[in-house]
Amino acid sequence: MIELHGIGKTFRKGREEVRAVAGVDLEIAPHSIVALIGPSGCGKSTLLNMIAGLYQPSEGQILYQGTHVADVNTNVGYMTQKDNLLPWRTVLDNVALPLELAGCPQPKRYEAARAMIRQVGLDGFEDKYSGELSGGMRKRACLARMLLYEPQALLLDEPFAALDAQLRIAMHDLLLRLWAANKQTILLVTHDLVEAITLADRVIVFSRRPARVTHEQLVDLPRPRDVAQVRFTGRFHEIYNAIWEKLREEYVEEKL
């Protein structure tokens, strides 16, 4: 369970103050997938950074399973738009990194890493450096690395934004299959409403900066979902239109 109580965040750049997040209350149920959607630069990523404990909120409190997040939250896996693979390591060594940090002996961690690499469909590329991989492969490697240390919650910050449409569908499918097996809590920040509805149980719409929750929509599409087909169902469209109405208000205001 992740709880956000009255979260606000103000950045200070010289004398200028930028209010990124204001008065956000949220409760994320365990094992659910929640999508956060809103205009770009509205402070959604800041919110994730605070849940990960990389930033401290200026106001309010974040509780992770009842305990206050005061330092880096090592119970979560964090995946950003940028793949943070170490370029001087091979895929295998990158994926095995979390176990290496935990002091796991090499044969054991390689075995676990190989199994995970197979799960994300990256087998055959274990000895490549990240510079030799395509964007999709790097995402898979990141996913494998993050899943290897078995975090209870995944924070995904536009993880698939840089991928093309087909690849994104493949990654959605992969993510949902992995989630069905492990049932982590997933918090997904995205721009893409289709992606949000396809994956999530709940979609939360944020306002322009400072980010506030303006709307919440339950996604009651049955699981398991066929990520390529679910977007053509009638219920999907109803949900899509309901959220889009709210989202459009934010975008229209932004233009004015």
Partner 1 sequence: MTASQTVTPKRSERAQPRATRKPLGDMGQPAMLGLQVLFGIALLVVWELSAGRLVDKFMISSPTDVVTRLWGWIASGTIYVHIWATIYATVIGFVIGAIAGVVGGLWLGLSPFLSRLLDPYIWAFNALPKVALAPLFILWFGLGINSKIALAAVLVVFLVFVNTFAGVREVDPDLVDSLRLMRAKRRQILTKVVLPSATSWIFVGLKTAVPYALIGTIIGEMIAANRGLGYLVQRSGAEFDTAGVFAALVVIAVLAVIFNEMVGRVQDRIQGWKVVSR
Binding positions for partner 1, rule: CB under 8 A: 52, 54, 72-74, 76-78, 80, 82, 84, 86-89, 97-98, 100-102, 129-132, 149
Q: How far apart are CA 198 and CA 201, in angstroms?
A: 9
As a whole number of angstroms, the distance between CA 61 and CA 51 comes to: 10
If the CB atoms of residues 95 and 178 are measured against partner 1, the closer one turns out to be 95
Q: Which is nearer to partner 1, 99 or 247 (CB)?
A: 99
Q: How far is the CB of 177 from partner 1 (least distance, A)?
A: 23
Least distance in angstroms from the C-beta of 176 to partner 1: 23
Calpha distance 185→150 (Å, rounded): 11
C-alpha 201/C-alpha 81 separation (Å) is: 22
Q: Which is nearer to partner 1, 73 or 119 (CB)?
A: 73
Which of 230, 156, 221, 224 has its CA nearest to residue 190? 156
CB nearer to partner 1: give 76 or 227: 76
User: How far is the C-alpha of 193 from the C-alpha of 229, rounded, in Å?
Assistant: 15
Residue 145 or 209 with smaller CB distance to partner 1 = 145
Minimum Å gap between C-beta 101 and partner 1 is: 5
Q: How far is CA 232 from CA 33, 54, 122, 221, in A?
A: 21, 39, 30, 12
| 50 contact partners, CB below 8 Å, separation of at least 6 | 7, 9, 21, 56, 57, 62, 69
Min CB(124)–partner 1 separation in Å: 17
Which of 5, 89 has the CB closer to partner 1? Answer: 89
Q: Which is nearer to partner 1, 146 or 196 (CB)?
A: 146
Tokens encoding 156: 């995904």
Sheet holding 2-13, edge to edge: 16-28, 2-13, 59-64, 67-68
Q: Please report how close the Cβ of residue 103 comes to partner 1 at its closest, in angstroms.
A: 10
Minimum CB separation of residue 78 from partner 1 in Å reads: 5
d(CA 104, CA 110): 10
d(Cα 94, Cα 222) in Å, to the nearest integer?
A: 36
